[in-house]
Structure 1
Amino acid sequence: MTYKSPLYFVILLGLVSLFSDMTYEGARSITGPYLFYLGAGAAVVGFASGFGEFIGYGLRLFSGWLADKTKKYWGLMFIGYALNLLSVPALALVNSWGLAVLLIILERTGKALRTPARDTLLSYATFKMGRGLGFGIHEAMDQIGAFVGPLIVALVFYLKMGYKPAFLVLLIPALIALSLLTFARIIYPAPQKFEKGFLELETKGFSKSFWWYLLGMCLVGAGFVDFPLIGYHLEKTSILSKDWIPILYALAMGVDAFSAIFLGLLFDRIGLKAVILAIILSLGAIPLTFLGGIILIFLGMILWGIGLGAQESIMRAVIAQLVPIEKRGVGYGIFNTFFGLFWFVGSFLLGFLYDFSILALVAFSVTFQALSIPFILKVAKTA
């Protein structure tokens, strides 16, 4: 195995994601409480997280098409990562929730620009090593950063430094991530070569299985409660102190990292049944988190981390199997656009439901995620 092997490429991109997630997941662990601190209500938090995710996913249709059309994978990644990462320390410079919401949306915009190009390159590199394992390794490294970032924020709070210094400290991992991305571009100028023979394949359309799978995942997105609303709930109810909220998020990110590897290996063995298993496990996350005491909240966040780990690893790996290689960027773009649209609508509704009835929020979340299972079973029988 040479230093230019597919595995090393996956690891190097994993390091980029590790420091990137350290930056923006560190910030996301406190954006809900930060918006509350700036005077925003639950509906604004739900809108900010939901619309941010919609932009973060919806623009991937365009960036995915652009990646396939131009093959400028690295250029899109550089622009996207810069916008994604540098929006975080800029949060320290604002004093109104309106400007904070704008920066949250800009951060998600950057992620939208770079993700289809990155996932397409990962799909090439994981062709022979197993896509479940490859995407699982990448997600695990990604989530190590997501675990450390909130702990850095928690340390800043422990030192009584407040929100703005916490955002400024996150500039350091952001710069490290951009440096690693530059190094990766120098070492691996054309990762497409990892999947030999792709140039001979003829163009094909998207299969029915792709659309059934997309529908199932959209239902998951609609019912999945984003952490800003969870953090808002914990801050408002004072079930946990402010210092514990980023630690709780770090716990979920740690679970995400371990579950990504396990689910990736399981996916390579049993296919879509691994996705269904992850959804079933995550169904208990929101009831425990919003209705339970401290111990049940921690258990709920463990299950929430499993669900998120599946979304960011094996649920992405499935697309590479359902979409023809020459349309993979567009395939990821379509998938993420509709997933993000349903996430946005679901998050906005969940924010309103929170003010109306927490029980209604829980019922909405569990029902919509559970409804995805029949569609995934249908795909599993035909894939």
Structure 2
Amino acid sequence: MKPTALSALPRTVWLLGCVSLLNDTASELVYPLIPVYLAGVLAADSRALGVIEGVALAFSSFMQLLSGWLSDRRRSAKPWVVAGYALAAAARPLYALAGAWPVVLALRLADRLGKGLRSAPRDAMLAAAAPHDQRGLAFGLHRAMDNLGAVIGPLLAFAMLESGVELRQVFLWTALPGALAVLLAATVREQPSSAPHPSHTLGTGAASQPLLPQGEGWDEGVKRPRPLDLSLTPTLSLGEREPESTGSEAHFGARAALGSHPKGEEHKTAPIRLRWSPLPPLFRRYLLAVALFTLGYPSNLFLLLKAREAGIADAQLPLLWGMVALVDCLFSTTLSGLSDRLGRQRLITAGWLAYAAVLAVLGFTDLPAWGLWPLFAAFGLFFAATEGTEKALVADLAGAGQRGTAFGFFHLVSGLMLLPASILFGWLWHAFGAHAAFGFSAGCALLAAALLRLWVFRSA
């Protein structure tokens, strides 16, 4: 990746990346220690872990839909971003006071509520700030900085535990980087939303592919895309349009319609109507594939629980998870930027197949403890290839005025599926063993990859 390309990214992209770095430093001080805390201190089993993670992540995703819709409706994303980081920063140190797993559940709900408030508006701020041909690079850079924090956090946790700091005291130290993240988020300037790119492609370059397959928004006579009608967002009634935006008036998530109201005519705000049908057909099919994949994507804490059972020492679990974040950090910018040229769906499909392979190895082989390190490194490559790319694809498929809502639906669908995914995974593990749980998840990933390639983008 050329340094000049990174330096050309807007200041907003870099600032949001730094905020995520600090926030993830705090978050990852806690995250890899939760299985240790639940199993070793609170004597909870895999079913409790499944309930905690499933409920917390599903709740977070509902809030991401609501915050995405509100950021579009209120024409401002920043307040939701700042509030989300502040709530999470306040909740994490309180893990030190937990005496039973329901208290951990309550704190995870508060933490995930913070994530739910900030994620969709923040992603839409990134999409609005980055030029179309650098969108994959922008999301990749953000993921890289996010995961740099996810490397620093586990390293700090390992150093503290090795130096004799008690587990509860480690949780208290999360207050410092969390507070710094909130202060920096308050300084980010919100950028105007850019207009949709006229080519409607999935990435740019020679390998670009049409955004819509033939027959869906495609002009049969001249073989080129017809302009998309962006006036029908999931929050507007049929026939209602937002006024047209020009210049500095184009605030985030607002005025993305093709039509406008005459001057002096009052535009009435539409009621809340979170409807599925007005979303672009290709986006709806993509969400169905995401839903199937996420049904087999339980909380990553189960992977750490499996590593603990395989012989990884408690103090080394943060290092193992930190290595995943390091691999993600090193490769996410390059791989997400590659999607701008090769096409998003190809990279996502490859990542989902790699994820299925990792789960199959974890579930059906008895690797020694040292063998888990390269396997978790491969898991980091899966993150690097898919997380930024999936979000860039959402931005491609949604119009400029729909991005907050589109990201909200994306997070809602994926997060709601995490509820049955984590609970079912925990139950399968407890009832039939780890091989049944990991085998089910690997099968879902394989089917989702096939669906994405053979149905969602069958003509792309």
TM-score normalised by length of structure 1 = 0.92
- CA distance, structure 1, for counterparts of residue 83 and residue 299 of structure 2: 26
Return the match for 2:36 from 21, 33, 39. Answer: 33
Structure with the bigger RCO (C-alpha within 8 Å, sep 6+) is 1
AA aligned opposite 2:291 = C
Residue 426 of structure 2 corresponds to: 351
- CA distance, structure 2, for counterparts of residue 334 and residue 200 of structure 1: 18
Q: Does 1:379 align with 2:452?
A: no
Residue 219 of structure 2 corresponds to: none
Return the match for 1:340 from 415, 434, 443. Answer: 415
Residue 13 of structure 1 corresponds to: 16
Deviates more, 1:268-277 or 1:278-287: 278-287
Q: Does 1:138 align with 2:142?
A: yes
How much does 1:336 deviate? 0.9
Residue 161 of structure 2 corresponds to: 157
AA aligned opposite 2:191 = P
Q: Does 1:86 align with 2:159?
A: no
- CA distance, structure 2, for counterparts of residue 129 and residue 180 of structure 1: 27
Contact 1:6 1:194 in 2 (8 A): no
How much does 1:201 deviate? 4.1
Partner SS, residue 428 of structure 2: helix
Contact 1:61 1:336 in 2 (8 A): yes
Partner SS, residue 258 of structure 2: coil
- CA distance, structure 2, for counterparts of residue 66 and residue 230 of structure 1: 35
Contact 1:218 1:343 in 2 (8 A): no
How much does 1:210 deviate? 0.7
- CA distance, structure 1, for counterparts of residue 193 and residue 382 of structure 2: 33
Contact 1:32 1:228 in 2 (8 A): yes
Partner SS, residue 191 of structure 1: coil
Partner SS, residue 378 of structure 2: helix
Deviates more, 1:244-253 or 1:269-278: 269-278
User: What are the superposed Cα offsets for residues 272-297 of structure 1, whole Å, 9 maximum, x if unpaired?
Assistant: 10111111222222233453222331
Residue 202 of structure 1 corresponds to: 258
User: What are the superposed Cα offsets for residues 257-276 of structure 1, whole Å, 9 maximum, x if unpaired?
Assistant: 12311221221011110111
Return the match for 1:306 from 374, 381, 385. Answer: 381
Residue 191 of structure 1 corresponds to: 191
User: What are the superposed Cα offsets for residues 36-76 of structure 1, whole Å, 9 maximum, x if unpaired?
Assistant: 12121110101111221111222211111111111231111
- CA distance, structure 2, for counterparts of residue 223 and residue 26 of structure 1: 26
Residue 319 of structure 1 corresponds to: 394
Q: 1:289 to 1:298 in 2, by over 3 A?
A: farther
How much does 1:320 deviate? 0.5
Q: Does 1:53 align with 2:68?
A: no
Partner SS, residue 83 of structure 1: helix
AA aligned opposite 1:263 = L
- CA distance, structure 2, for counterparts of residue 308 and residue 58 of structure 1: 23
Partner SS, residue 44 of structure 2: coil
Q: Which runs of 5+ in 2 are unaligned?
A: 197-245, 260-276
May I ask how many residue pairs the two structures share in their alignment?
Answer: 376
Q: 1:248 to 1:289 in 2, by over 3 A?
A: farther
Q: Does 1:252 align with 2:252?
A: no
User: What are the superposed Cα offsets for residues 73-116 of structure 1, whole Å, 9 maximum, x if unpaired?
Assistant: 11111111111222111111222221111101110111001111
Contact 1:89 1:168 in 2 (8 A): yes
How much does 1:374 deviate? 2.5
Partner SS, residue 39 of structure 1: coil
User: Which has the larger helix fraction?
Assistant: 1
Residue 311 of structure 2 corresponds to: 239
Partner SS, residue 138 of structure 1: helix
Contact 1:289 1:296 in 2 (8 A): no
How much does 1:6 deviate? 4.7
- CA distance, structure 2, for counterparts of residue 9 and residue 267 of structure 1: 22
Matches within 5 A, 1:99-178: 99-178=103-182
Q: 1:66 to 1:83 in 2, by over 3 A?
A: same
- CA distance, structure 2, for counterparts of residue 243 and residue 158 of structure 1: 7
- CA distance, structure 2, for counterparts of residue 112 and residue 217 of structure 1: 18
Matches within 5 A, 1:354-369: 354-355=429-430, 356-369=432-445
Q: Does 1:217 align with 2:290?
A: yes
AA aligned opposite 1:119 = D
Q: Which runs of 5+ in 1 are unaligned?
A: none
Residue 266 of structure 2 corresponds to: none
Residue 27 of structure 2 corresponds to: 24
Q: 1:372 to 1:212 in 2, by over 3 A?
A: same
Deviates more, 1:199-208 or 1:72-81: 199-208
- CA distance, structure 2, for counterparts of residue 133 and residue 365 of structure 1: 30
- CA distance, structure 2, for counterparts of residue 23 and residue 279 of structure 1: 28
- CA distance, structure 1, for counterparts of residue 348 and residue 373 of structure 2: 23
Q: Percent identity?
A: 26
Contact 1:29 1:227 in 2 (8 A): no
AA aligned opposite 1:268 = D
Residue 267 of structure 2 corresponds to: none
